[in-house]
Amino acid sequence: MKIKNLLLFPIVIVFFSICSFSQYKATGIIFYESTVNGKKMDEYVNKKRKNIKDKKLIESMDLVFLNTKSIKSKLYFSDNEGLFEVDDKLNIDKNDLAQSINKISAGSDKKFYYNSKTNTFLIKDCGSLGDCFIYDNKLFDWQLTQESKMINNYLVFKATRSNGNIIAWYTPKIPIGFGPKGEYGLPGLILELEIGNIVFKTTKIILNPKEEIKIKEPKGGKRVSYEEYKEIVKKAKKRVFGN
């Protein structure tokens, strides 16, 4: 966990949450829905759209920002392990550009694995490059704040990274440091996440369900580092688009 600029109140949260990690044995399923971020939509409609000259580009952007439906996803966790994935029952027409883009933004067909016991955080990608790759998820540099609100009857606190462009709302009440789309490292479960043009919101929380939850580390792909994966993607783009 790498967290900077901690004030006294967040320090207390971190201390008690870390003490709780090893004791928290609950299992759970967190249901999310991701949609276009309202702030990004307003920015596009009121500012950026007026400056776009290409009508076809406007039509495509309008589809993405104004005519999309929510994408459903789930986070499973058990004994400090977790797995996040987009709903595999989601069938999208290949011609539905807006929903295809939204699905990619939500995580597409990738599997995001978390293990806070061994500090193992992985991403399995079988859909982007033709082959399956399993690579390390990078460590996130969070800044905690004292700002809070209520989500689904849980008190959540605000954390940011990437110069405030990514915002997470997490609850220390569920001291599992996981969240949507591979985000991790906070002293509590992420219930809301603003990242890029989309926002993930929790729609349902099931703790200690009757059915057993088993989390398995991703297998069946070529294991590479995060840097190696970026280089593979870079070369693949160069083959398709040239220099």
Q: Amino acid letter at 153?
A: N
For the segment 38-65, the average pLDDT, to the nearest whole number, is: 63
Query: What confidence category does residue 17 fall into, taking pLDDT thresholds of 50, 70 and 90?
Result: very low
For the segment 113-130, the average pLDDT, to the nearest whole number, is: 90
DSSP assignment of 18-63? HHHHTT---EEEEEEEEEE-HHHHHHHHHTGGGG---HHHHHHHHH
Tell me: pLDDT of 15 over 50.
no
- List the beta bridge partners of residue 8: none
pLDDT score at 52:
72
Using one digit for the tens of pLDDT, what is the confidence trace for 171-196? 999 999 999 999 999 999 999 999 98
Domain ranges of the chain: 2-140+196-241
Q: Which position has the higher pLDDT, 243 or 102?
A: 102
Using one digit for the tens of pLDDT, what is the confidence trace for 98-121? 667 777 778 888 999 999 999 999
pLDDT score at 237:
78
Structure tokens at 150: 């209520």
Q: Amino acid letter at 174?
A: I
CB atoms under 10 Å from CB of 74, counted, come to 17
pLDDT score at 12:
46
pLDDT score at 95:
54
For the segment 220-229, the average pLDDT, to the nearest whole number, is: 92
**CA–CA gap between residue 63 and residue 150 (Å, rounded):** 32
Residue 242 gets which letter from DSSP? -
pTM of the model: 0.80
CB 133 within 8 A of CB 224: yes
